[in-house]
Structure 1
């Protein structure tokens, strides 16, 4: 309550909150503006089941399902950021040099990331439009009837739609920048969370319709003879599992492993009573939600590509066994990919060699560990151990909704774990910024 009072008393913070809400309203409005020439009713069947499309649609606030002008959302910029970040690992020397040039280097990297994001958006828009159109029984069924027979203009139609979607992504990047400058939190993260929150009411409505208001639905097929009471019970179980996952995600997102450090030029008598010792906090889930998204992308690509090639029923069943979440082999492959990407991305973000070098420059050391190679080895082993826990945590969070979906007979909860990871992570960071902004800037002096 005290924090809420401080928020309402802080005029600057209220302006930031108001601007952020206004940006969300603009975002929501744009999700209803469909790309010209597109027949959105032809896309409904593609989103009936969850998976990678469900994750992307959730992040976009249902903009993808509506095929709106911002259907791609901010995702091309996120992808470009990850690519540029990976290329800075001594893969491209120029990018490595830019990362060490301070503010000027960051501006160069930011500009390159935006150009790459626009290029990726255009390519992704072309590929997505062709893929959605090719998934229809007949080519051009994706488009409205006036253009369905204009096969001789197919290149211009695809090019036009790609330009519109790319412009939508450019606007979303600009809107994210405005939120970062004038609003609350990181703009890109806030737009992703905003999209997920916008899609949650639809998920809850689907669950209510599935279990409670549709007596002739699939519930009677899976749980025949159990009546309306079973619907309420299963709906309650779904909501309870959602809450349990939310609590677990919140706890794990703030969990850290602290490595104590001491400074050679700081005498032991300098430790004042009540003061915390210096340490290096390593988050248990350093990689965040990136490994789950990458694993979903890799697992969905083969089925997406081969769905446009007539391989026969036998080959299609074989591919489904390997690359489907609901099949044992596909599920196991999904978990393995999450582990691989968790370790890969964690050691991209945290570099033990650089940390050991920085400690040496600051005349700091880990008690009982020699500076240099032994410090690097100690940090690497510690990071490896906590990453195992983090990978297990991500695997559980990603697999629980899948298991729940199969057990309860619906597929609406498949993206729940991924969505909650994003929401909780951004919410914690935003709350820290709000607490910082609401702190009274008063100084009591040295003598009190």
Structure 2
């Protein structure tokens, strides 16, 4: 991959695209450290540290903080990250399958895709507004729970300033929520600029940049555990290197599975048109093992993080609801079982909406293609469906292992707070591989002969 980047750098046109992409990433990181108005950053840091001690990294807040590169916990203008756009894209993909007018619109070529993209932008802004409002009320709830009994404002322990007039408080709320929403729209625009003038998928690149920005935090945390070893907890002298070895092994495993595929042999019949003979060649139909990519993990983790996030907002002290919400903690067996089941379910669901065996069989029949030993038509569709089912199971088990390994490792070693989970690693490796492939394809289009030497 590094050799590919080096060779691409020597081409002036690609060098400009790489520099433009790096410029957008720098802008994204700058926006991730600029705080919104009307917040006390020292008090906010105190609140987030207390939340982290209570397990905030196990909730949707910790999940959003990882994807935004730490911007969420610092309440910066890019605090919402790219998550609203991802959720909007997922929603639109599902609606294009469930709603016939949207399905027809998605099949109308370039114009249809532009309309779908425009709707996706509007949905993104709406989700950013909802998410920003929820974050504001989280801060306000923190104010209500930490305010002194007298109601006096103490700048050292409250993230939101206290105002004497209701108008000032409403104005502050409007500004904070508006800035969060505007940051979401700006991130979406930056991603589209990468698509037009840069290298790779813009949204994926920004997601990649946000996750990589959390690497120093993980390295620093590993250093803290190593210091605990020097203080007498000698088990960390083994557990910290073991984490590094497992991390590298997971990267290799993900890289291997990203390129793994099942190839179904296809034979095209010979046919004579005029004086020429067409067809007769043998080829294959590739089916990737990881058909849904990281989407099943994102779906499953988003659903399972809801109870723990509700617990952080509501903070029940005792009773049925506290016991019920505690049961969904990531440190419990119920969470691991549900996580495994949901990943399997969403893997099959995503494969179902992405691949249609009947349509694939009809396309082969129309082009005089057959699978050796399988009759055209319904038998071919059943054969492809069986292959898809088996491949999806293998891919879902792979995703489950990658997703559950950090949880099981943390429970076994008591090393909590490590932000490099399975989802993050899959996204990092997948984006890196896809970007390298795009560089290679663009060099091939420019007839560059040296990148494979």
TM-score range normalised by the length of the shorter chain: 0.7 to 0.9
Report how far residue 27 of structure 1 moved.
1.0
Query: Distance between the aligned counterparts of 2:169 and 2:70, measured in 1?
Result: 26
Which residue in the other structure is 1:67 paired with?
Answer: 75
Report how many residues are paired.
429
Alignment partner for residue 89 of structure 2, among 81, 104, 119?
81
1:174 aligned partner: 189
Gaps of 5+ in 2: 148-152
Counterpart Cα distance in 2 of 1:25 and 1:443: 29
CA positional deviation for 1:157: 3.2
Paired position in structure 2 for 1:126: 133
1:48-447 equivalence runs, <5 A: 48=53, 49=55, 50-51=57-58, 52-89=60-97, 91-135=98-142, 137-138=145-146, 144=159, 146-147=161-162, 154-212=169-227, 215=230, 223=233, 226=234, 230-265=235-270, 277-309=282-314, 312-316=317-321, 318-413=323-418, 415-439=420-444, 441-442=446-447
Question: Cα distance, 1:59 vs. partner?
Answer: 1.3
C-alpha offsets along residues 37-87 of structure 1, whole Å, 9 cap, x if unaligned?
Answer: 223222233345323333321211111111110111111111111111111
Shift of 1:431: 0.9
Q: Distance in 1 between matches of 2:214 and 2:315?
A: 34
**Change beyond 3 A, Cα 1:401–1:379:** same
Cα distance in 1 for partners of 2:355, 2:255 equals 22
In structure 2, the CA distance between the partners of 1:121 and 1:146, relative to structure 1 (3 Å rule), is: closer
Equivalent position of 1:10 in the other structure:
11
Matches of 1:362 and 1:97 in 2, distance apart?
A: 24
Supply the distance in 2 between the matched residues of 1:317 and 1:410 (Cα, whole angstroms).
25
Q: How large is the RMSD of aligned CA atoms in angstroms?
A: 2.7
1:53 and 1:242 map into 2 onto residues whose CA distance is 23
Q: TM-score by structure 2 length? A: 0.87
Corresponding residue SS for 1:285: coil
Structure 1 counterpart of 2:150: none
**Is the contact between residue 321 and residue 328 of structure 1 (CA under 8 Å) also seen in structure 2?**
no
Render the CA deviation track for 1:309-355: whole Å, top value 9, x for unaligned: 47552425532453112111221111111111111112112222222
Q: Quick one: distance in 2 between partners of 1:125 and 1:54?
A: 15
Residue aligned with 2:180, SS: helix
Q: Is the 8 A contact 2:66 2:419 kept in 1?
A: no
Contact 1:321 1:329 in 2 (8 A): no
**CA distance 1:309–1:231, change in 2 (3 Å):** closer
The 2-side partners of 1:432 and 1:348 are apart by: 26
Aligned 8 A contact 2:301 2:339 in 1: yes
Query: In 1, distance between residues paired with 2:336 and 2:326?
Result: 9
Distance 1:212 1:271, change over 3 A: farther
The equivalent of 1:30 in structure 2 is 31
The 1:149–1:210 alpha-carbon spacing in structure 2 relative to 1, beyond 3 Å, is farther
For structure 1, the 5+ residue unaligned runs are none
Alignment CA distance shift 1:145-1:105 (3 Å): closer
User: Aligned-pair distance for 1:371?
Assistant: 2.2
Q: Which whole-Å CA distance do the structure 2 matches of 1:371 and 1:242 have between them?
A: 46
Whether the 8 Å CA contact 2:270–2:278 is kept in 1: the answer is: no
- Aligned partners of 1:427 and 1:348: how far apart in 2? 26
- Of stretches 150-159 and 11-20 in structure 1, the one that deviates more from structure 2 is 150-159
1:423 CA displacement? 0.9
